[in-house]
Amino acid sequence: TLGIYGKYMDKYEKDYIDYLKRQFSLAWLDSIGPDINIHNQKDSIMRRSHIPRKYRDIHKKGLTLRDLKAKAFTKEDSVKIAKHHYLIDEIVLNDMNIERKNEIFNEVVEFPLRNEMAGLRLDTVITAEDDFIYGYKQPWKIDKGTKKLGVVLAGMVEGIDKSTFVFPLTDTLTYFIASLSQLADESLITERKMLHKNMVDKQSVYPDYRTNKSYRFKDIKNPEIFDKIFEAYQTYNKETDLFVDSVSIRGYTDLTGLWHENYELAENRAKEVADYFKQKGVKMPVAKAAGEDWSTLAQEVQKHKSLLHREEILDTLTHAVFPDMTEENIKALFPDDYKIMKDEIFPKLRRFDVILHVNRHDIEKSTMKETYREDYAEGIKLLKEKEYMPALEKLAKYGDYNTALALVCLGYNDKAQEVLESLPETGKNEYLLAIVKARKQKTTEAAKHLQKACQLNPDLYYRTRLDSEVKELADQQNLWDTLNN
């Protein structure tokens, strides 16, 4: 019995293994038994079962893209591809059709277009019962040197019977080409700078003394405040045409204490500072005393909105006769305001006014210096030729009217407005501001700038009709009568 059972099981296992190989394409495995786990082999089964049989040997070797070797195309490869895949005859035929398209067009179309430039203007049937008007636009490229354009109108009627009627030529219409670049100011090419024979450089510094009665220089807690004055002194003396003749140091104090004592205190402090200047190499520093600074006190009180009795204090200061008595009266009558003055205003009264007297030794009197700027002239030339971006590159560093004009021509309205608002109020500056504001839809502001421009420069009234932004503005706001007055 056991022999029969064993024989049966061997046959069963053999048939089962053959079934698995056929059903799941497992012939590629080196060995397989009846106890194989089909689920563990599912990925391999799926991959192999979907691979065509002629490629299974390659898959079995485990080749990847890294095993592929790149080979460059040769001339022979290109010839082979062209020969087997290019439709040479069809390509040649298509080229011939392209070359003959105009010839075929003339054969097919009975009334051809006269030329490509004229183009088809009107595609409709015209009858003789009524007159008709047809308006159209004719674009024309303007070269950078074009200032005006002459236009002559010609016309011809062609009937379906091939008959023609030629209209006589019209008189020449002359159009002047308007451009914002025409507003360029060539006078700015030459830089004009007034050279003064004698000049002063005034700087104020605010020392912090250890006590209100200290006057020694060593008692100043912030001596670095004088560094900028020494730098200016050295800078002027390094210039070939400048020289510092003298330096005056005027000392001021606040109102704390008696008037004559404060005057003496200011004088002593100025002398100490003058001695310090000498040690630093400053020639001929002159010490002067001003004492209590009542003028600055009145100005600061006027600006100080937190003082409850500001007007009464100002009236007291204006009619002061005896300084010490005036201070005591303010202190007694307005104690809260006096405390604010002492804490916030008095520190501004304790100061030195240092004046550098600068002399230009290469000239005998004040004179105007003119400098021709070649790069600026090139920028103006480019601007007039409507080369706006190259022009801006030349003019940007000057930040003047012509710089703003280049920005307006390029449409950089915000930057142009920033430059124009930093310049003095002139007719042309206001005119450009009107254009910028009109572009930004700020019609009220634009109208004000346009009116101001024509007021400062009446010639701009005639220019207004040439620039669309301000012309439309004047039409909408009914400004023409106002602009002409």
Tens digit of each residue's pLDDT (9 = 90 or more) over 204-227: 999 999 988 888 999 999 999 999
Q: How many CB atoms lie within 10 A of CB 399?
A: 13
Q: Is the separation of the CB atoms in 289 and 270 below 8 Å?
A: yes
Rg (CA), the chain: 48
Q: Running DSSP on this structure, what letter comes out for residue 341? A: I
Task: Classify 366 as helix, strand or coil.
Answer: coil
Q: Could you tell me the end-to-end alpha-carbon distance of the chain, in angstroms, rounded to an integer? A: 135
Torsion angle defined by CA atoms of residues 38, 42, 44 and 46, in that order, rounded to the nearest 10 degrees = 130
Q: How far is CA 374 from CA 292, 371, 384, in A?
A: 54, 9, 16
pLDDT per residue over 427-441, tens digit each?
Answer: 999 999 999 999 999
Task: Classify 246 as helix, strand or coil.
Answer: strand
Architecture of the domain spanning 367-484: Alpha Horseshoe (1.25)
Both tokens of 333, joined, read 């009558």
Q: Running DSSP on this structure, what letter comes out for residue 32? A: -
Regarding predicted confidence, which is higher, 60 or 372?
372
Contacts of 294 (CB under 8 A, 6+ apart): 255, 317, 320, 323
Contacts of 34 (CB under 8 A, 6+ apart): 13, 16, 17
* Domain 198-360 class, CATH top level: alpha beta
Contacts of 333 (CB under 8 A, 6+ apart): 309, 312, 316
Q: Running DSSP on this structure, what letter comes out for residue 255? A: S
Instruction: Tell me the domain boundaries of the chain.
Output: 1-129, 148-180, 198-360, 367-484
pLDDT per residue over 455-484, tens digit each?
Answer: 999 999 999 998 989 999 999 989 998 888
pLDDT per residue over 332-377, tens digit each?
Answer: 888 898 898 888 888 999 999 999 888 887 677 777 777 889 999 9
Both tokens of 478, joined, read 């009914």
Write out 179-215 in H/E/C secondary structure: CHHHHCCHHHHEEEEEECCEEEEEEEECCCECCCCCC
Exposed e or buried b per residue across 166-196, where buried means at least 16 C-beta atoms within 10 angstroms of its C-beta: eeeeeeeeeeeeebbbebbeeebbeeeeeee
* Banded pLDDT at 422 (limits 50, 70, 90): very high
* Banded pLDDT at 46 (limits 50, 70, 90): very low
In this predicted structure, what is the pLDDT of residue 157?
Answer: 79
Rounded to 5°, the CA angle 325-328-329 comes to 85
Rounded to 5°, the CA angle 9-13-15 comes to 115
Task: Give phi and psi for 440, each to the nearest 5.
Answer: -90, 10
Q: Is the separation of the CB atoms in 419 and 404 below 8 Å?
A: yes
Is pLDDT at 307 greater than 60 in this prediction?
Answer: yes
